[in-house]
Amino acid sequence: MLPWIGECESLCATIDASVEVITDPPERIATVVRSYLAFFKDTQNCAKLLIHERALFKDRKKPTYIEHREAHRERLRAVYQHYIDEGQIRVIPVDQLLDVLGDLLYGTMFTNYFSERRASVEEQAQGILNILFHGILSDEGRRRRPAE
């Protein structure tokens, strides 16, 4: 087995274990963000392996990380649709939510790796969650700009 496949499985197991007993949807999302950031901070070799995979296996259609993300998509789609149905998350396309959150975390992981960012996991998680949960527009800004 290639080393990064095990790392992707370890990431999923770490996140699943971190939210196992949490029932509050916003707290589950916050815990996923923290667990993801902590995993890549503690397992810095994983980012390096993902980069090497793209360099060494250019003919692959999708990186292993993306394949893993897609393999869990249906399960995550059901979870987030349930949160929407409960009224915990506003009505938005679930695939859009999964793509934006996934890309935000994936990009943060690579930015941290390349820039050697020293912000704590909690500091970064709070920044991401602030924007994710509250957006960037004020009430006045939202009134001026219709939802797209």
Q: What is the pLDDT of residue 64?
A: 74
Q: Of the candidates 55, 98, 57, which has an alpha carbon nearest to the alpha carbon of residue 74?
A: 98
Two tokens, residue 101: 């959150």
pLDDT value at position 148? 67
Please give the pLDDT value at position 48: 80
Is the separation of the CB atoms in 96 and 77 below 8 Å?
Answer: no
| Helix (H), strand (E), coil (C) string for the chain | CCHHHHHHHHHHHHHHHHHCCCCCHHHHHHHHHHHHHHHHHHCHHHHHHHHHHHHHCCCCCCCHHHHHHHHCHHHHHHHHHHHHHHCCCCCCCHHHHHHHHHHHHHHHHHHHHHHCCCCCHHHHHHHHHHHHHHCCCCHHHHHHCCCC
Tens digits of residue pLDDT in 116-138: 777 899 999 999 999 999 999 89
pTM of the model: 0.84
Higher pLDDT, 8 or 132: 132
Condensed to tens digits (0 to 9), the pLDDT of residues 34-72 reads 999 999 888 877 778 777 777 777 777 777 778 878 888
pLDDT in tens, 71-115: 889 999 999 999 999 999 999 999 999 999 999 998 998 888 888
Q: Does 1 score more than 50 pLDDT?
A: no
Going by pLDDT thresholds of 50, 70 and 90, the confidence category of residue 4 is low
- In one-letter notation, the amino acid at residue 114 is F
Half-sphere exposure of 7 (CA within 13 A, CB side): 20
145 token code pair: 């700009």
* Domains delineated in the chain: 3-144 (1.10.357.10)
